[in-house]
Structure 1
Amino acid sequence: MLRIKRRAASPSFFSLVAESREELTHWANRSANERRQRRAPVNLDLFRSGRLVEHVAKDFGGRCAFCEKQIHTSDGISHFRPISVHNQHQADDYVDHYSWLAYEWQNLFLICLRCQKARADRFPVADDRRARFLSTLDESRNEEKPLLIDPTAENPSQYLTYLLSGECLPKRRLEKSTTTIEFLRLNDTDLIAERQLAIEATLQSWDASLRTGIALPEYFLLEGSYLGACRESIARTLVNYRETVVSINNGKALRNYLENMLRNASDEELSYVSASIDILRETDTARLKESRVVEFDPTLRSPISFASERNSRELKVNEIASISIENFRAVDSLKVGFPEVRSDKAGAPCLLLLGENAVGKSTFLSSIALAILGTKEARKLKLRYHELARSTSRTGWNVWSNSPLEVNVKFHRSSQSATFFYDPIRERLDGTTEQSAIVLGYGPHRYFAPAKGRRGASAADQVRSLFDSQKALPDPSEWLKTLSGSQFDQVARTIRTILPTGDDDHLVNHSEYGICVLAQGQLTPVSHLSEGYRSIFAMVTDICRSLLQYWSNLERARAVVLIDEVETHLHPRWKMRVMSSLRRAFPAVQFIATTHDPLCVRGMDDGEVTVLARDELGSVQIVGDLPDVSGMSAEQILTSEYFGLSSTLDAEVHLEFAKLNERLQSRQAPDIGLEAKELIAKVTLGRSATAQIIHAALQRYLDEREHDVVNVAAHARAEAVATVLRALRASRGN
């Protein structure tokens, strides 16, 4: 880790954050009581904005501030003082820390995804004494003593050192040193291996110059990953060479020193320095044995940062990279991939599955749940596994295939995968034994009833409604009544993020009526709310309850949540915001949902919507080459390949248009009324040659699409566009 010199913020930076800063200031000026159930309105997408990331990345040389790995700007930027801090003792005084510093230039760091996830929302301070709410950054630095190294305010080499084998060690066992290594997981197995390779390559170049006198490589010690560790390894070879000490924080000065040494030192001195490299390797081997460095599995959660006081189970926090399904119910073979990050927005990548009934949408969710649960938990569901096999008959549903069922879920930054395997001939269940990630599942009928909604304690119970449509959700009021203080407020803030509450609405734990929503001055018990309101309320509360078993901060909680028919019971206005609201409420959660409703596509990125359809042989396929869904209107979505409709007109009206169009094409236009002719001219035809060609292209495209929804996108749209373009060019030439 190197000392980083920050530049002053440019005027363009302040312009970028001005609007968001103003909204945050308005929230910060509310009273503490008003802020209790309101999340700080921080524009997380802004920290993935290309322009803002470039501003910050330049100061850090394109390297992570903590681990020093060279990273792409797609990792985004993060904060030294997190905008939502881990509240280990559930202290009300620190609920809003350090959200007010969200747009503070000196608090914005370039941090890689690995370090962001390792540190999460933890920001330890000495004696747990934090700065005052709304204190400036300078005041915060004076009022608290962070136990994480700030490379922009102090010299990391005073706290950390590196072995030639790649391990990071604390200097003098200082608390700040050990805490930084532990919280940032600077000794992840992968990180140690990469660091060792970089150090070894640096030493080999240096040794070659010492032995042969060849010039140092052009960017030696100036570019690349792990510069702090590499520069320190070179500096350690110079410890016994003269008395001059050069700081590793100044790469150009260190390089100049080495070049002068190569020019001016005697052969004996150069040989002495070269020999010191082998000596260092031997001494570091001994130091490693004495230090007892603990290497971290990068997929395991740290027990310090999460709610381990309430649940000591050591679960992994894997994020799905791809899903492969073979011979599972309606699915013959299917594979879907996930990016690690969204292209230009904050939050975890998600997936929305579209398609008609019986194309395998629910099957897709069930298969993911079984694979991630592991066979140990999956057996608790007591399923009839032979009924999961693919039916081989197109006329019946119970002619089961003898081919094995197989599901494989791969994860980002992990060599391990989750598998589910069932052999219908031998009736053998196999696959990953233990659970691979936190997974929650919700079937299409998300109702709750006090008598039927008792909550099971196992991981299998958390996905049971995907397999049992009669499984009710637990009554959210019963659990909410057990909460108090900051924990109740945190859940209330999350629910407010999703439900269409007014600015002054609150969730209230009433002594007589129980959990109520106070909206526009009216107190309403949850049990008396509308069906749609109760459905989403129960599901969101259950997600909160499940995640709080493992995480103390819902904004940082990572899990996979599966929702079948996410639009169930929702008003059209809710459908348009349900996915974006869920993602905003649980920004680190991977949501995988199904829907029949085009309105739910809102809130999804390009590439996050997958359409399933059957081909002419009845096999389920993914519709390819789909248009960008972001920014589409509901009608555009309906008439695109996502839903395969020719238009959104009423079926009878559409039929009349078709008949009129047919008569017009057969030269019966004079028989059509003037009003109908004008309407057709506006909607489908035109008087010019260009308009007629456009109509012909559109007609051909729609005809082909209605006959073959799976394969049309590969050629029909392109041909139609090409035809229109040729017509427009010809018209312009005339």
Structure 2
Amino acid sequence: MRFVERDRVAPPKWFAMEEARNNRFMLVDYFGMDEKSLSQTRSFEPVEFSYTKDSSQLEVAEALHSLFEGCCAFCESELSAGLSVHRFRPSSSATPVMDTSSAHLYYAWLAEAWQNLYPICENCRPKDPFHFPVTSNRRAPLPQHEDLVAFAERDDGRWPSFPLDENPVLVDPCYDRKLWRHFRLFPHGLLDGRDRRGRETIEHFDLNRADLQAAREATFEWGTERVKEYLTNANATAPTALLDPGRLPHFGGWRIALRELLGNALGRARPSDNLGRELNRLKDLPDAMDRFNDAIGQLSAAEHQWYVDDAINPEEQLRAGMGIRDRTYDLPSKVEIHNYKSLEKIEVSLPDPPKDKPRAAPSLLILGENAAGKSTILEAMALALMDPGTRRALRGLDPNKMVLDPKYLGGDADPLELAQVLVSYGDTDDKTLTIRRAQDNTLAGFRDDGIKNALPVFAYGAFRQYLTSERRHVRHRHVRSLFEPDELLSNPEKWLVRLSNDDFEMVARALRDVFSIEGGFDVLERDEKEVYIVGAIGSQPDGPKTRTPLSLVSSGFRSVLAMLCDVMHGLMNKKINPSFQTLDTARGLVLIDEIEAHLHPRWKVSIMSGLRSALPGVCFIATSHDPLCLRGMGKDEVLVLERVREVSEQGLPVHTQTLVNLPDNKDWTIQQLLTADFFQLQSTESGEARKAQAEVEDKLARGVRPEDDQAVRDYLSEMSAALPIGDTEVHRLVQQAIAEFLARRRTVTQNRLRDLRDETKKRILAALEGV
């Protein structure tokens, strides 16, 4: 890390553009809400600054690139592949939480402030972007109205009263000049923290990655060699590149090391920050080279001692007394299922977070025909990720019924002895659940190996109604719905009226994203028994209000509300989720079978995006039969299961496979979704029309030629009528290609069908090129 004077580059002109000005005035309106509305409303999504040529915010990224001379602000690596824009203070819900009532507001007012924006490489992006600790547990006061107005009216993007009245723990490369107070660079490239600020900054931005250590070691070697050349050459002057690194990567770390080396060589406990002067003083000494070599030796010895002392790793040092947050494991990156129920071998990979919402958790929607294994995947994942105590509490779990038996899929092999679910966490260790057939004690059929999952897990079956009362807390409460179809959820209203004021407002903020599907609300209110949805009648905010009891909303909405409140209840329970701070930052995994159950089409279109907005840090994995639920899912966030009638590796005549790398469906019509790989319907026409189509395709498969059958001829003419093919020869070639496609498509697998489509497209294109 190096100190950079921010004012040496002027703020980009984007801050004077209409988009930026509108956002600043929206900020004034947001903080100008009445107290109740502000406490129940999240701040709006900030701009995700893009470094693409067609982006209106390109100028911001370019200015940051120039300010830091093409390097990452935190690790100093060269940004050869472009940059991302990082908000030093998070745009909302900063943790650790100091005051629950205002936690969601920190630091919304700096989301688009020039002083808060930094260039960052992908590898330095914090795993916890909300983490921003301050000393003495005291954050800056919330902004006054006049500060917000002044910020909105100026065109340079600078927050008027900066720096804030607080003491951040993380080191700021544009504010903390004396970086040597917080960091120490060793000869082999290891960056050490001298104090809490240095150690937490290294941890937060992962500044001791192996590639960084190697690069810093090379810079250290280069720098020490240049110093030695200077010390041994009587006529040499101190090389500019040695003292003024400019664009070269990792020279901020080198200057920290050089300062310590010169201090040790000169016997100074506090050497001057003027390194050129100190270097000249050393050169004037007769034993300058010996002193410098001794200084390198001292630093190497300190590095060796660091490794001796840190048989505990740096992270545990931080836990031991420096106040680092507790870390949880990441979401699983991949789940492999082997021989579980009807699934011989299935791999489910979670996608990366959406690029336009890097702080959001990834999610996945699983599609497939009945009996393809959608619910089975959810069961296997839930069993593998829940703790053994929760698994024991579920009634009726029989491992003998969970291990694949080939005879149920048409095979003649003996029943298999075990099933396995392997959970991968990227670079960390894996977790494995092994399920064996058990003769006497069914609980003995489950064995867990590897790391323990730290994320709260929730699992819900297709039937998600709730009681009029509240269920008592049991450890399997949040997963039993998936395994026990008759299980009813708790009445959410009982829990909502019992919450503290701050927690109720926090839940209301999350619910607003889901209520917006139904039309939204102004605020939620409650008395000792009920919760009320309060909304304005008409467009006048000061006009009359409606006050609707929560119990009177639609049944579909109630089922979503019951499930969502059950998830929030679990996330907020310190016994289940000890690291909980806010619903904005809470992490977890929610498995939902048939997400579309009980929902109106308006809800189906928005349910996935609504849930993901309500709990942005939670990963939702759901199954569905409905194309409307694909709305809200991006590229790589959909998985399709297909039953294949061909012999598998274990000789099964029928098995399930996955279709991945599906196209982005954002702009597709419902008919396109239904007839594409997502749902694999050959037609959305009536039963009679499909029957007539099937009869024609049967004839084609038997080799009937169009010229010999009027029905076949009419059908092919209809298929090719819309194409611009006036030439009879071209018309015949197109019809022939279509005929062969229709004849073959009913007997091939979905993966082979893709190849068949490509072949047909090429043949039609070749015919059209002759027009």
Residue in structure 2 matched with residue 359 of structure 1 by the alignment: 372
Query: Comparing 361-370 with 192-201, which one deviates more in the overlay?
Result: 192-201
1:159 and 1:290 map into 2 onto residues whose CA distance is 21
2:751 and 2:264 map into 1 onto residues whose CA distance is 71
2:685 and 2:447 map into 1 onto residues whose CA distance is 50
Residue in structure 2 matched with residue 572 of structure 1 by the alignment: 601
1:513 and 1:637 map into 2 onto residues whose CA distance is 45
Residue in structure 1 matched with residue 456 of structure 2 by the alignment: 438
Residue in structure 2 matched with residue 553 of structure 1 by the alignment: 582
The one of 127, 130, 148 aligned to 2:141: 130
Summarize the Cα distance change of 1:512–1:422 in structure 2 as closer, same or farther, 3 Å threshold. Answer: closer
**Which amino acid in structure 2 is aligned with residue 203 of structure 1?**
F
Q: Give yes or no for contact 2:71–2:247 (8 Å, CA) kept in 1.
A: no
Residue in structure 1 matched with residue 314 of structure 2 by the alignment: 295
Summarize the Cα distance change of 1:341–1:681 in structure 2 as closer, same or farther, 3 Å threshold. Answer: closer
**Which amino acid in structure 2 is aligned with residue 146 of structure 1?**
N
**Which amino acid in structure 2 is aligned with residue 646 of structure 1?**
Q
Q: Give yes or no for contact 2:182–2:197 (8 Å, CA) kept in 1.
A: no
Question: What is the deviation of 1:462?
Answer: 2.1
Question: What is the deviation of 1:162?
Answer: 1.5
Residue in structure 1 matched with residue 747 of structure 2 by the alignment: 707
1:532 and 1:181 map into 2 onto residues whose CA distance is 50
Question: What is the deviation of 1:345?
Answer: 3.9
Asked whether 1:601 is paired with 2:630, we answer yes
**Which amino acid in structure 2 is aligned with residue 468 of structure 1?**
E
Residue in structure 1 matched with residue 208 of structure 2 by the alignment: 191
Q: Give yes or no for contact 2:513–2:610 (8 Å, CA) kept in 1.
A: yes
1:501 and 1:624 map into 2 onto residues whose CA distance is 30
**Which amino acid in structure 2 is aligned with residue 379 of structure 1?**
R
Query: Comparing 229-238 with 581-590, which one deviates more in the overlay?
Result: 229-238
Asked whether 1:97 is paired with 2:92, we answer no
Q: Give yes or no for contact 2:671–2:684 (8 Å, CA) kept in 1.
A: yes
Question: What is the deviation of 1:585?
Answer: 1.9
What is the number of residues matched between the two proteins? 705
Summarize the Cα distance change of 1:482–1:133 in structure 2 as closer, same or farther, 3 Å threshold. Answer: farther
Residue in structure 2 matched with residue 276 of structure 1 by the alignment: 295
Deviation string 1:532-583 (CA, Å, 9 cap, x unpaired) is 1101111111222222234222121122221111111111121112112222
Residue in structure 1 matched with residue 87 of structure 2 by the alignment: 79
**Which amino acid in structure 1 is aligned with residue 3 of structure 2?**
R
Q: Give yes or no for contact 2:46–2:91 (8 Å, CA) kept in 1.
A: no
Q: Give yes or no for contact 1:406–1:419 (8 Å, CA) kept in 2.
A: yes
The one of 656, 662, 670 aligned to 1:634: 670
Q: Give yes or no for contact 2:351–2:636 (8 Å, CA) kept in 1.
A: no
Cα root mean square deviation, aligned? 4.5
Residue in structure 1 matched with residue 154 of structure 2 by the alignment: none
2:286 and 2:751 map into 1 onto residues whose CA distance is 72
Residue in structure 1 matched with residue 764 of structure 2 by the alignment: 724
2:525 and 2:760 map into 1 onto residues whose CA distance is 60
The one of 383, 408, 413 aligned to 1:370: 383
Question: What is the deviation of 1:518?
Answer: 3.0
Q: Give yes or no for contact 1:301–1:316 (8 Å, CA) kept in 2.
A: no
Residue in structure 1 matched with residue 651 of structure 2 by the alignment: none
Asked whether 1:328 is paired with 2:328, we answer no
Question: What is the deviation of 1:502?
Answer: 6.6
Q: Give yes or no for contact 2:636–2:660 (8 Å, CA) kept in 1.
A: no
Q: Percent identity?
A: 25
2:144 and 2:90 map into 1 onto residues whose CA distance is 14
Deviation string 1:495-519 (CA, Å, 9 cap, x unpaired) is 1102335776145343275013235
Other structure's SS at 1:441 match: strand
Question: What is the deviation of 1:129?
Answer: 4.3
Q: Give yes or no for contact 1:2–1:156 (8 Å, CA) kept in 2.
A: no
Asked whether 1:416 is paired with 2:416, we answer no
Asked whether 1:622 is paired with 2:622, we answer no
2:696 and 2:642 map into 1 onto residues whose CA distance is 31
2:744 and 2:23 map into 1 onto residues whose CA distance is 47
**Which amino acid in structure 2 is aligned with residue 649 of structure 1?**
E
The one of 165, 169, 174 aligned to 1:144: 165
**Which amino acid in structure 1 is aligned with residue 4 of structure 2?**
I
1:257 and 1:144 map into 2 onto residues whose CA distance is 35
The one of 578, 581, 587 aligned to 2:610: 581
Summarize the Cα distance change of 1:665–1:456 in structure 2 as closer, same or farther, 3 Å threshold. Answer: farther
2:562 and 2:322 map into 1 onto residues whose CA distance is 29
**Which amino acid in structure 1 is aligned with residue 256 of structure 2?**
E
Alignment of 1:1-80 (within 5 A): 1-6=1-6, 7-12=9-14, 15=17, 17=20, 24=27, 26-43=29-46, 45=48, 51=55, 52=57, 54-55=61-62, 56-60=64-68, 64-66=72-74, 76-80=84-88
Q: Give yes or no for contact 1:86–1:305 (8 Å, CA) kept in 2.
A: no
**Which amino acid in structure 2 is aligned with residue 32 of structure 1?**
E
**Which amino acid in structure 2 is aligned with residue 429 of structure 1?**
F
Question: What is the deviation of 1:714?
Answer: 4.2
Question: What is the deviation of 1:641?
Answer: 1.0
Residue in structure 2 matched with residue 590 of structure 1 by the alignment: 619
Query: Comparing 419-428 with 599-608, which one deviates more in the overlay?
Result: 419-428
1:92 and 1:582 map into 2 onto residues whose CA distance is 22
1:619 and 1:160 map into 2 onto residues whose CA distance is 59
Residue in structure 2 matched with residue 173 of structure 1 by the alignment: none
Other structure's SS at 1:393 match: helix
Alignment of 1:108-507 (within 5 A): 108-111=117-120, 116-118=126-128, 120-124=130-134, 127-133=138-144, 135=147, 136=151, 138-141=159-162, 144-148=165-169, 149-157=171-179, 159-164=181-186, 166=190, 168-170=192-194, 178-179=196-197, 181-182=199-200, 185=203, 191=208, 196-207=213-224, 227-239=251-263, 269-285=288-304, 295-296=314-315, 316-346=328-358, 347-382=360-395, 383-394=397-408, 401-412=415-426, 414-424=427-437, 428-432=445-449, 434-451=452-469, 454-458=471-475, 460-500=476-516, 505-506=521-522
1:607 and 1:93 map into 2 onto residues whose CA distance is 36
Residue in structure 1 matched with residue 554 of structure 2 by the alignment: 530
2:400 and 2:209 map into 1 onto residues whose CA distance is 46
Deviation string 1:267-287 (CA, Å, 9 cap, x unpaired) is 963454234211222245557
Structure 2: tracts of 5 or more residues without a match: 152-157, 234-238, 538-544, 574-578, 647-653
Summarize the Cα distance change of 1:57–1:92 in structure 2 as closer, same or farther, 3 Å threshold. Answer: same
Question: What is the deviation of 1:387?
Answer: 1.2
2:369 and 2:321 map into 1 onto residues whose CA distance is 43
Summarize the Cα distance change of 1:557–1:510 in structure 2 as closer, same or farther, 3 Å threshold. Answer: closer
Question: What is the deviation of 1:356?
Answer: 0.7
Q: TM-score, normalised by structure 1?
A: 0.82
Deviation string 1:301-352 (CA, Å, 9 cap, x unpaired) is 999798xxxxxxx772322211111111111111122344434443222211
Other structure's SS at 2:377 match: helix
1:718 and 1:403 map into 2 onto residues whose CA distance is 42
1:303 and 1:47 map into 2 onto residues whose CA distance is 35
Query: Comparing 66-75 with 416-425, which one deviates more in the overlay?
Result: 66-75
**Which amino acid in structure 2 is aligned with residue 471 of structure 1?**
E
Q: Give yes or no for contact 2:90–2:129 (8 Å, CA) kept in 1.
A: no
Summarize the Cα distance change of 1:588–1:183 in structure 2 as closer, same or farther, 3 Å threshold. Answer: farther
Other structure's SS at 2:208 match: helix
1:24 and 1:696 map into 2 onto residues whose CA distance is 62
1:48 and 1:438 map into 2 onto residues whose CA distance is 36
Q: Give yes or no for contact 1:44–1:345 (8 Å, CA) kept in 2.
A: no
Q: Give yes or no for contact 1:638–1:648 (8 Å, CA) kept in 2.
A: yes
Deviation string 1:627-682 (CA, Å, 9 cap, x unpaired) is 33333222211111111112222222333466789899447769999xx9997665
Question: What is the deviation of 1:265?
Answer: 8.7
1:415 and 1:595 map into 2 onto residues whose CA distance is 31
Question: What is the deviation of 1:448?
Answer: 0.8
1:399 and 1:473 map into 2 onto residues whose CA distance is 41
Summarize the Cα distance change of 1:533–1:304 in structure 2 as closer, same or farther, 3 Å threshold. Answer: farther
Q: Give yes or no for contact 1:565–1:596 (8 Å, CA) kept in 2.
A: yes
